[in-house]
Amino acid sequence: MPKPPHQPVHPVLHALRIHPVKSMAGCTPGRALIEPWGLAGDRRWTLIDGTGKVVTQRQQPRLALARAEPGPEPDGGVRLYAPGLEPLTVGVPEPQRGGTVAVDIFGTRVEAVPAGHDAHAWASSYLGVEVRLVHLDAPASRRPVDPLFARPGETVSFADGFPLLVTTLGSLDALNSLIARGDHEKEGPLPMDRFRPNLVVAGTEAWAEDGWRRVAVGEVVFRVAKPCGRCVITTTDQRTAERGKEPLHTLGRHRRIDGRLIFGQNLVPESTGTVLVGDPFTVLDRDD
């Protein structure tokens, strides 16, 4: 059977996705720097509530309609957009001025630097609840990767648990085919933004990623840490913030592995460097 038009003969990096603020929409650059803790600029900011807990689309699906892009200065600042509000540029706060605050990210305590009053007010106005915007100032030391899957010294940003997430067009096509034959076919086909990956690969067979152990994009090498268990955020339409049943309903029937609903693989960089859309994607080690 011939490959679909969007599937090249040899696997390549099809898209890059950077989300400067956790759970907000991000951007799709043509190139990105891979740092030890993930894509440069990815999820270095997050919102927290009054108790310090991270606020995501799990609690606030309207975050899907807000967008964060790199700021005009090359210092890690962000430009924020949301319906009904004027855009806001937020510079990187200095820890020596305001100190740090404790952030609770899924039960783990991480120190971060709060942004200024304008940023807190902007985000609180949009969501209708009091939140604060904070910045991860020292990703090399603030938050270790889960030691069950990490080597000493490996760290992560405000991503859910690992530096990067890779997904494939082949698996999305297969999932959408299953949705089309299921109980909620009208919800499909789903776009890739439901899964909020960093790297999207074209040219692989459906679910081939289940067997990957080490991979490379261009010259940059990654270790495959573990499959990505999916949550309610994947049921949130990233263009309307409305929730449905898919893809969790279909993943529950066809992709339940060790009690989790799986789509994509979590990665840890073994080297650093710049990757470009169109770079060759190579599987270096896989399960036999």
CA–CA gap between residue 82 and residue 57 (Å, rounded): 14
Mean pLDDT of the residues in the chain: 95
CA distances from 195 to 7, 186, 208, 276 (A): 19, 19, 17, 21
Angle of CA points 111, 117, 118, to nearest 5° = 120
pLDDT of residue 3: 46
pLDDT of residue 1: 38
| CA-only gyration radius of the chain, Å | 19
Give the bridge partners for 221, in sequence order. Answer: 216
Predicted confidence (pLDDT) at residue 66 exceeds the cutoff of 90: yes
230 SS3 class: coil
Q: What distance lies between CA 234 and its chain's CA centroid? A: 11
Q: Per-residue pLDDT averaged across 155-170, rounded?
A: 98
Predicted confidence (pLDDT) at residue 197 exceeds the cutoff of 80: yes
Predicted confidence (pLDDT) at residue 4 exceeds the cutoff of 70: no
Q: How confident is the model at residue 7 (pLDDT cuts 50, 70, 90)?
A: low
CA–CA gap between residue 136 and residue 44 (Å, rounded): 5
pLDDT of residue 14: 98
